[in-house]
Structure 1
Amino acid sequence: MESPPHKLNVGRDEDRISALTDDLLVGILERLDLRQAVRAGALSTRWRDLPYRLSRLHLDVGHFQGATPLEVMDAFTGAAQRLLSVAVPLAEGEGASAAIIPIKSLVLSFYMSSPHLSAIGRTVEDVVSYGKTECLEFSISSPPPASYTALLLAEIGQQFMSFSGAYPVAFSWLTSLTLKRLAFGPSDVTELISACGRLRHLTLKLCRLIDPHSTLKIDVPCSRIQELEFFGFGCRQIELISAPKLRQVWCQNWLFDNPPVCFGHVPELRVVRLFSKTMAWQASFTLSECLSKSATNLSKLHLDFLHQMIWIQPEHPKQLTAIFRNLTSVFLLGIFTECDLSWTLFFLEAAPVLQNIALSRHSCIMTLENSAEKTNVVWKPTKDLKHLNLKVLLIFGCEDEDKVTNYVRLVMGRAVGLNSIVLHGEYPCEDCNATDLERPKMGKASKVGEASRRRIKERLTHGSSSSVEIVIC
């Protein structure tokens, strides 16, 4: 007689997963959202203490509930104090001593709330005092009132600077810092970066100087800062006087002078991203006014005009050759469709090792009030230009056959090593999708039919001996 099948014991405390070692279970929990990890700990006595043994924690104030920001921060701070206790009792039977559970990675996202800052500061300093923390990130924003005034932003900014000064040990361990809706004094940002000795990444969102018509000057010759991001920063201009380790800068949506950023001593700079619409009071500028001749390692340049006026002026290559000698990729996005494209070839003339050019074209149906007038950009490339290293030309927004094919042939005649040309339909536009209900939300495919594709390929290859691959999507 055949024996009955063996029945597994699937009790909560005796299931197969709970039979794993603590290290394996903690490894599983560290791959979950913290709320899921805590819920898992509530399901079983076997799992109950495991969330307190996690070495990687991300606490986000947005995950906590309360009727007011103060109540939300009460819940956040209480959870942080419980979970960041670094001395955890050993398992039963291993004595009364304590095992130290080092926090290797800690990410805290919270509001600037005066009653809670001291508790957060002390808790974090307890964590980093063991010297095992590899990654410490703060994301701090103003609490969400109905509206923000310049006076309120300045007050919250002063509270933040007092907070950073009161807990220098915690801030000296920071590797990444994001600040949202704060106002700073003229030297606060430099002092902050200098005080955060391990800081690699600083993001300032919707922040400003107390006097927004003054210049933000950052002079940090001894810092380790590698990435700076400015999103809607309110100041006349950003001047990066000295940041020797800086590798990447992102500046988006500026409202005052052009150029928005002026680079000083930045020998390690690799990537620059500038994204903004241009307002009527802003003039175009040359890249040599913005970029520093010390930035000879620059390899990627992203410029997004957001479908409005082109805010850079083409210039003679001798002004840029020293800066662009290692430039390999250029992304020119949000070019309005009426604009001629031949001006973009000044990058070919100035960047001898350039390998990739990507363009996107679109005329957005939404234009901001006081936007600068869209005007054509005129530039005549050198007739005898021969570029040896360009390999890929990518264009989004190829609805105008004549303008695109004329431009592509212009590039093909000068980029003798070109391998691939890729032509796409319009790139998705969030502004158009938000205001025109008839547009598909994910953008649209190219209008180019099969007959048009053949015609475009014939026009591009007519009279040419090039073996370049042409892909029309």
Structure 2
Amino acid sequence: MDAFTGAVRALLTRVPPAEGVCDSLKVLFLSIYTSSPLSSIGRLVEDIVGLGNTECLEFCIFLPLTDPLGSDIEIGQEFMAFFRAYPVAFSWLTRLTLEYHAFRHSDITDLISTCGRLRHLSLRFCRLLDLHSTLKIDVPCSELQELEFVGLLCTRIELVSVPKLRQVECKCWYLENPPVCFGHVPELRVVILYSKANAWQEPFTLSECLSSSARNLSTLTLGFGYQMIWIQPEPPKQLTPIFRNLTSVFLSSIFSECDLSWTLFILEAAPALHDMALSRHSCIKTPKYSAEKTNVVWEPSKYLKHLNLKGLHILGCENEDKVTNYIRLVMERAVGLWLIQLYGENPCTYCDATNLERSKAEKASRHRIKEQLTHGSSSSMEIIIC
């Protein structure tokens, strides 16, 4: 880190304006361990941004490799001291990534409010000092457009008012469901929720989580880690006001034994839906404390006729009867469907899902599914094996 800090100093030390090197510095991205001399870097960054030409300033601040994970409180305090010591630098910050920091609730609000140009905030494996408290983000005047939470330890995240927010990604939560609740987020376009369900977590409905102010939501990704489905289907009455502009849905990492008809509750609630994709896999490893895998019960309306769904994409075709029956169910209700794509499985990081025998069997399944769907059919629908 001494060598790195020396290099940063050499880069950022302001040269006479006549040479014009740093005067035109528009993009600055610094990836720092908290053991580095932050104060000297802070002063140099303030000199650069004080020129007024910087358009993008990004800090990624990580836990030093030599520090134990239990030092997150000390590291969080060190970062906040750095933040308060250099308000000019942070007022120009556009992106911030923090790993393994512990914060008071007010620290996050102060950070967002002070960083007037901050558009992207990522908190990875951070936590609140009081684990059983809720992180409330109420920043009606902020420029925040993207939020990423990975393994954040707190009871829940409440986005009370973040009017320019466009994308939220929440992964690997450990406490209560739902992990995040949306308030005033009128510009929200993309929501990504991905986590394995723990035994103490109960399924929740999307209307508990998503706000009716999110009327511009266009892309939804839900990932289940091949474990229990933590979404509870619900009638369209609650969801259609939120899903009226939803065009793309990706339901990721569904365990292969799971019946798929429950996914049609989204089709029923999203009249503008254009593409729906599912990925399936029978993972041989189940994490400790994982919730029990159970089928989700949902009976789609027999009167459902969807006019806008054009593409159905399925990754992983184990248990071909389940897949074939599901595709037929969608075909009956999505009257405008013209493309079905069947893909092989993606490699699984938890088990050997890419061995040659399994790959050949899965490819044969996809071809049999195609034959069953096209046999005796006069439909002009295209079915592609990928």
Superposition TM-score, scaled by structure 1 size: 0.78
Q: Does 1:371 align with 2:300?
A: no
Q: 1:154 to 1:100 in 2, by over 3 A?
A: closer
- What's the offset of the Cα at 1:262? 0.5
Matched AA of 2:7: A
Partner of 1:284: 203
Q: CA deviation at 1:331?
A: 0.3
* Higher RCO (Cα < 8 Å, 6 or more apart): 2
Question: Equivalent pairs: percent with the same residue?
Answer: 66
1:382-393 correspondence to structure 2 within 5 Å: 382-393=301-312
Equivalent pair of 2:348/2:354 in contact (CA under 8 Å):
no
Q: Determine if the alignment matches structure 1 residue 121 to structure 2 residue 35.
A: no
Q: Which residue of 2 aligns with 1:415?
A: 334
CA–CA separation in structure 1 for the residues paired with 2:209 and 2:105? 21
Which residue is equivalent to 2:256? Answer: 337
Decide whether aligned partners of structure 1 residues 385 and 100 sit closer, same or farther in structure 2, where only a CA change above 3 A counts.
Answer: closer
- Partner in structure 2 of residue 323 of structure 1: 242
- Say yes or no: does 1:297 pair with 2:297: no
Cα pair 1:111 1:141 within 8 Å, conserved? yes
Q: Following TM superposition, by how much is the alpha carbon of 1:269 offset from its aligned partner in structure 2, in angstroms?
A: 0.4
CA distance in 1, matches of 2:151, 2:357: 26
Aligned partners of 2:23 and 2:51 also within 8 Å: no
The letter of the residue matching 1:140 is I
The one-letter amino acid paired with 2:383 is I
Alpha carbon RMSD of aligned pairs, Å? 1.9
**SS of the counterpart of 1:254?**
coil
SS in 1 for 2:241: coil
| Deviation of the 1:239 alpha carbon | 0.7
Alpha carbons 1:398, 1:446 under 8 Å: kept: no
Separation in structure 1 between the aligned mates of residue 263 and residue 336 of structure 2, nearest angstrom: 18
Q: 2:381 corresponds to which residue? A: 468
CA gap 1:444/1:88 in 2 versus in 1, 3 angstroms: farther
Give deviations 1:179-206, integer Å, cap 9, x for gaps: 0110000111111011000000000011
Look up the equivalent residue of 1:83 and give its one-letter code: L
User: Aligned in 2, Cα 1:427/1:271: closer, same or farther, shift over 3 Å?
Assistant: same
Deviation at 1:463, TM superposition (A): 6.0
| Range that drifts further, 153-162 or 274-283 | 153-162
Q: How has the CA–CA distance of structure 1 residues 449 and 199 changed in structure 2, closer, same or farther, with 3 Å as cutoff? A: closer
8 Å Cα contact 2:23-2:53 kept in structure 1: no
Answer whether contact 1:135 1:174 (CA < 8 A) is retained: yes
Letter in 1 for 2:91: S
Q: Is the 8 A contact 2:317 2:366 kept in 1?
A: no
**Does the alignment pair 1:108 with 2:30?**
yes
SS at match of 1:302: strand
1:190-228: CA deviations, max 9, x gaps?
110110000000000110001111111111100000000
Task: Give CA deviations for 1:30-71 in whole Å, capped at 9, x if unaligned.
Answer: xxxxxxxxxxxxxxxxxxxxxxxxxxxxxxxxxxxxxxxxxx
Q: CA deviation at 1:127?
A: 0.4
Asked if the contact 1:102/1:127 (under 8 Å) is kept, the reply is: no
How far, CA to CA, are the matches of 1:467 and 1:187 in structure 2?
A: 59
For 2:344 and 2:33, how far apart are their aligned partners in 1?
Answer: 43
Number of the residue aligned with 2:14:
86
Native 8 Å contact 1:175 1:198 kept in 2 = yes
Deviation at 1:98, TM superposition (A): 6.8
1:155 alignment partner AA: E
Corresponding residue number in structure 2 for 1:76: 4
Say which of 39, 55, 59 aligns to 1:134.
Answer: 55
Stretch moving more, 134-143 or 79-88: 79-88
- What is the deviation of 1:367? 1.0
- For the residues of structure 1 that align with 2:77 and 2:328, how far apart are their CA atoms? 57
Distance change >3 Å, CA 333–CA 99, structure 1 → 2: closer
Tell me the distance in 2 between the aligned counterparts of 1:160 and 1:455.
58
Distance 1:453 1:360 in 2: 14
Larger Rg belongs to: 1
Give the paired residue count. 386
Of residues 123, 126, 150, the one that matches 1:207 is: 126
Amino acid at match of 2:47: D
Matched letter for residue 121 of structure 1: G
Tell me, what secondary structure is at the counterpart of 2:121?
strand
Distance in 1, matches of 2:239 and 2:360, equals 35
Classify 1:100/1:410 alpha carbon distance in 2 versus 1 (closer, same or farther; 3 Å).
Answer: closer
Distance 1:382 1:462, change over 3 A: farther
How do 1:37-436 and structure 2 match up within 5 A?
A: 73-88=1-16, 101-113=23-35, 116-149=37-70, 152-433=71-352
Change over 3 Å in CA distance of 1:350–1:463 after alignment to 2: farther
Q: CA deviation at 1:410?
A: 0.4
Structure 2 distance, partners of 1:211, 1:105, is 36
Instruction: Label 1:98 to 1:299 Cα distance change in 2 as closer, same or farther (>3 A).
Output: closer
- 1:345 is displaced (CA, Å) by 0.4
Inter-CA distance 213–383: structure 2 relative to 1 (3 Å threshold): same
Q: Structure 1 residue 353: deviation in Å?
A: 0.4
